[in-house]
Amino acid sequence: MLVVLTITTGLVDAVSVLGLGRVFTANMTGNIVFLGFAVAGTPGLSVPLYLVSIAGFLVGAALGGRFGLIMANSLRRRWLLAIALIETGLFFGAALFAIGYDIKTLTPTHHLYAMIILTAIAMGLRNATVRRLAVPDLTTTVLTLTVTAIAAESAIAGGSNPRLGRRLASVLSIFAGGAIGALLVSQVGLAPPLILAGASILIATLVYAIHPASKTISSNTR
């Protein structure tokens, strides 16, 4: 499930960076760096876009944290399905705003901001949920520590390559999602990759819900 969610991060990054004015809605490190560039007056970067994305992400993360507490004594399956439904709904909503939106001119402006807000909330919700799951090397959104671990704990560095398969899967998943997303954005626009991301999240979570591990109590995720 988390590998599929990692692929959807690549899809979302492709949509936001290539179609929403070079803003990230999944990667807040990139946003904050770009915000610094924008404040310094770098052409082509918009301070309001980055601030809105960061704000939306914070709202989503807060909701994800609160939801995790509310569902702490529920089955993990019920908790994750509820999150998946919300996240999918947000992506589908963003896809509706992609209709009639012009990537080249970033207009209509209210469609631009709506897509940024909806996808940022979804990714904030995702990050808070995955953080609570605390599965090593599968954060679904960031790779810096994962790539560092691949090298720092490799046989060359005197390590034993722990969880190498999982780490490589995480890297390749975002790469694949980004490549697929870029192709879709360039060929058919923003709506299809957003719909694909939402559908993939829901299907992957439904498949996971069949697994016996999904019947554990959500508070036992750490």
The HSE-up count of residue 140 (CA atoms within 13 Å, CB side) is 27
**Mean pLDDT across the stretch 16-21?**
97
Q: Which pLDDT does position 51 carry in this prediction?
A: 98
21, 119, 146, 198 from 92: Cα distances, Å: 20, 10, 30, 6
Give me 6's structure tokens.
């990692």
Residue 222 has pLDDT above 70, yes or no: no
Q: Which domain holds residue 9?
A: 2-220
Q: Which pLDDT does position 94 carry in this prediction?
A: 98
Whole-structure pTM value:
0.95
Residue 213 pLDDT grade (very low, low, confident, very high; cuts 50, 70, 90)? confident
Using the CB atoms, write b or e for 178-192: b if 16+ within 10 Å: bebbbebbeeebbbb
Q: How many domains does the chain have?
A: 1
Residue 220 has pLDDT above 70, yes or no: no
Domain harbouring 18, CATH code: 1.20.1250
Closest CA to 15 of 159, 195, 152: 195
Q: Which pLDDT does position 203 carry in this prediction?
A: 97
**Mean pLDDT across the stretch 37-59?**
97
